[in-house]
A and B are shown apart, each in its own frame.
Chain A
């Protein structure tokens, strides 16, 4: 654990598990509430976690979500084993999605997931390797304006 870390925890997210989809995000949100962070921070962190979690459920096989809080920020790193993203620039474009017809019927695949993370985080990074997986990291600052 980082010396300045106040708290850290890892979660596993299973691909294709629509039954438990969102559970990790709801747990993280509760945790942040218990810690007593500002509502705006909790809200933004929850949105980012949810979108990242749903991406794993929809596209990857499995992922580990590492979650750390320091006095300065919340850091989330999500590494998945999965198909990877062919074109990250396209994936970041609002409205672009590779969701299946079935997912779209369920209201997923709006092409807003990654943009939602980017808009709500203070730092956002994504790297991907075809047939290996994708790593998404984001930070939300606890002090100062977004």
Chain B
């Protein structure tokens, strides 16, 4: 499934536009521990997290993730938005919590 399609199906808010809306999503990973994501997320995954500080951008850039999905409608730091722009990392947001959005994404066929 393409990133744009997932965004629409799950009602995700696009925070900074898409770096690549046609990116084919390879999977998803839910975690708030950065080293855990570094170890276990894979290229073109979406990463579901409640972390909003700027260090999440380097993780997404290094792992070549398709997008970061911020849960609980958490406000995103200005530094984070700027860094996301620089590194061309797509930020999406949802009012759902990690459990709920993970379930929804799973239901969309991403396992």
Contacts and interface: CB of A to CB of B under 8 A. Distances in A.
B62 A25 contact: yes
- Counting contact residues on chain A (CB < 8 A from B), the size range is 20 to 34
Interface in A20-42: 21-23, 25-26, 29
Q: Interface residues of A: mostly helix, strand, loop or mixed?
A: helix
Contact of A43 (B43, B58, B59, B61): B43
Interface stretch (A66-74, A110-118, A129-137): A110-118
A21 B36 CA distance: 17
A110 B34 contact: yes
A50 B38 contact: yes
B54 interface: yes
A26 B51 contact: no
A23 B38 CA distance: 15
B38 A26 contact: no
A18 interface: yes
Nearest to B36: A110
B62 A22 contact: yes
Contacts of B49: 107
A107 B62 contact: no
B33 A107 contact: yes
Interface in B46-66: 49, 51, 53-59, 61-62
Contacts of B36: 110, 112
A106 B62 contact: no
B35 A112 contact: yes
Contact of B55 (A18, A29, A110, A119): A18
Interface of A: 18-19, 21-23, 25-26, 29, 43, 46-47, 50-51, 54, 106-108, 110-113, 116, 119
Interface of B: 32-36, 38-39, 43, 49, 51, 53-59, 61-62, 79, 87
29 contacts: A18-B53, A18-B55, A19-B54, A21-B55, A21-B58, A22-B55, A23-B58, A26-B58, A26-B61, A26-B62, A29-B62, A47-B38, A47-B39, A47-B62, A50-B58, A50-B59, A51-B35, A54-B34, A106-B51, A106-B53, A107-B32, A107-B49, A108-B33, A108-B35, A108-B55, A110-B36, A112-B36, A112-B38, A116-B35
